[in-house]
Chains A and B, each alone.
Chain A
Amino acid sequence: AQSVTQLGSHVSVSEGALVLLRCNYSSSVPPYLFWYVQYPNQGLQLLLKYTSAATLVKGINGFEAEFKKSETSFHLTKPSAHMSDAAEYFCAVSPSGGSNYKLTFGKGTLLTVNP
């Protein structure tokens, strides 16, 4: 069984400030981990994913996330927020291995960027 907890349903930052969105997971087997972004009235777009290679994963739009097994975390960061980063962000987990194909999503974190 697996689950995802996103701490903070709403995060507000100033333009140019650090973005930190928190995600903790629970998985009985080694996980794959994902971050998706959703802009208003659109589908979800993959930002980055961890699939047991490097623990620091770089994604699109300057985002990165670090897999920390000891903390069961996969927090998303960006050094300097841009207005265009305002969106909802979802963390997701699945068991590693090719035969399992379902993701479990967190409830999402809405990021607001203030000018």
Chain B
Amino acid sequence: SQTIHQWPATLVQPVGSPLSLECTVEGTSNPNLYWYRQAAGRGLQLLFYSVGIGQISSEVPQNLSASRPQDRQFILSSKKLLLSDSGFYLCAWSVTGQGNTIYFGEGSWLTVV
């Protein structure tokens, strides 16, 4: 069966510091990978998605970037965090042709102070 791992679960970082959130998927190959952010009262915002290694699409301009160095690894990064980057970040995966169902990781709480 497929599983998704996301870490760290919680993170408190000062303004201006770098960020790295990692996500790996097991039990499937060539998944579509996603990073979402969830802020209070604002639902889920799609930040990045990737359909293959090195293929990253950004949905919104922002202070963040994403990379996919391996087929089942997805990394969310920032060089300098802003207060507005605080939120709950969710990694997710899907497989094309399987009804567009997206499966989510457990999420990472980021607090920028």
A residues neighboring B (CB under 8 Å): 9, 32, 34, 36, 41-46, 49, 51, 90, 92, 94-96, 98-103, 105-108
Contacts and interface: CB of A to CB of B under 8 A. Distances in A.
Nearest to B32: A101
A108 B45 CA distance: 12
Contacts of A43: 6, 90, 92, 104-107
Given A101-B32, A101-B51, A46 B101 contact: yes
Given A42-B107, A43-B107, A107-B41, A102 B46 contact: yes
Interface string B36-77: 000001111010010100000000000000000000000000
Given A43-B107, A107-B43, A99 B101 contact: no
Contact of B90 (A44, A95, A103): A44
A107 B43 CA distance: 4
26 contacts: A32-B99, A34-B102, A36-B104, A42-B107, A43-B6, A43-B90, A43-B107, A44-B44, A44-B90, A45-B104, A46-B101, A49-B101, A51-B99, A90-B43, A92-B102, A98-B96, A98-B98, A98-B100, A100-B100, A101-B49, A101-B96, A101-B100, A103-B100, A103-B102, A105-B43, A108-B43
Interface of B: 6, 32, 41-44, 46, 49, 51, 90, 92, 94, 96-107, 109
